[in-house]
Amino acid sequence: MRLTQIKIGDLTAPVNVFLAPLAGYTNAVFREMCYNLGAGLTYTEMVSAKGLCHGSKKTEDMLYVTPSYGGIKACQIFGSDPEYMRRACESEALKPFGIIDLNMGCPMPKIYKNGEGSELLKNLDLASKIISECKKSGKIITVKCRTGVDEYSPVTAEFARMCEASGADMITVHGRSRDKIYSGDVNMREIAAAKNAVNIPVIANGGVFTPADADKLMIKTGADGVMIARGALFNPWIFAEITGRETGDKGKAVSDQIAATRETMGERFACVFMRKLIGFYVKGKDGATSLRVRLLGCKTTEELQSVVQTIEF
C-alpha cells in the first residue's frame, strides 16, 4: 500500500497504518510492541468518560503508557453526555494524550443500549454536540464510527460531513454496520463515500489481516490510511510486513512481551492475558489446538515462557 505521513490537527503520524482501540487488548505493552513494529498511531482501549470524571482508578489504569513508548499518545473515550465527554477530555488523566478519539461505532449491546457507541449514528445532532464540546478542550479530536446501525440505512457520508463540520480532525470508518458486529464483508463503497465527502483524513478499518488486504482497502476506498484491529491480535508483525520493517525474532518478541506485561501489570494479569494472546498468535499453525491446550494449562508466566520456547512463530 502507499505509505505516507498523516497530519492530524497539528500532529503528524509517521506512517498511515494504525492500531485500532481494542477493548481488553490494547494495553500499554501491546501498543508499544505494535508501534515498534511500525504502527504509525496506536490508541488505548476505549475508556468511559464518566469513569474518568468520577476518578475511577480502574478506568485510569487503562490509560497507562510505558515510559519508553515513542509515538503519539492517543486514547479513545466513550459516552453520550456532551458535558461529561468534554470534562473527560479536560481531565488530568487525559493530559498526557495529544489525540482523543470519540467512540461512535461500538456495536456491543451494553454500549448500544445505553445510547453510546453506534447508537450515536442515529442521533447526528447529539453526536455533533459531543464533538463540538470535546473540541473546547483544545485537544485534537478524532472519531471512529460505522456505516450505520444496519446495512439498509447507511449514514456514512452524512455522518462524516457532520464530524468535519463539528470540528473533528480525522475520521476512521469501520466498513460494517452495527448489526454485522464483526462479520460479513467490509462495505468499501461506504468508506469511499466518507472519503469523498470531507477534506479531513479518513482512515479505513475492517478486514485487514494481510498486507494485500491493506492494499486492497486503500485502492478501493481512496482512504488516507488503514486501521488494523483483529488482524493485529493474530499477527502484530503485520505492521512490519506492511511498512517494510524487519519482523525480527518473533519468539524473543513474545518472550519480551510476557516479561514486560508481568512487570507492568503483575503476574496474574500477565499470565491470563498472554496465554490468551499467544493462543491468537499460533492460529493456523501446525498443532495449534494442542498448543492452545498447553497454554491454557500454564499457571505462571514462567510456564508460559517455557511453552513459548517450543513454538515456531
Burial state string for 49-85 with b = 16 or more CB within 10 A and e = fewer than 16: bbbbbeeeeebbebbebbeebebbbbbbbbbbbbebb
The DSSP output letter for 132 is: H
- First-to-last CA distance in the chain? 25
Within 10 angstroms of residue 26's Cβ, the number of other Cβ atoms is: 24
Cell of 117: 457507541
Q: Answer for the pair 239, 247: CB distance below 8 angstroms, yes or no.
A: no
Determine the angle formed by the axes of helices 28-36 and 250-265, rounding to 10 degrees: 150
Please give the C-alpha separations between residue 180 and each of 58, 60, 92, 187, 267, in angstroms, as whole numbers: 30, 31, 36, 11, 36
Q: From CA 185, how far away is CA 11, in angstroms rounded?
A: 33
DSSP string, 242-264: HHT-----HHHHHHHHHHHHHHH
Contact (CB, 8 A) for 146 and 112 = no
Determine which one of 53, 89, 106, 145 is catalytic: 106
DSSP assigned state of 215 = H
For the chain, the farthest-separated pair of C-alpha atoms sits apart, in whole angstroms, at 55
Q: Does residue 75 carry a catalytic annotation?
A: no
Catalytic residues: 106
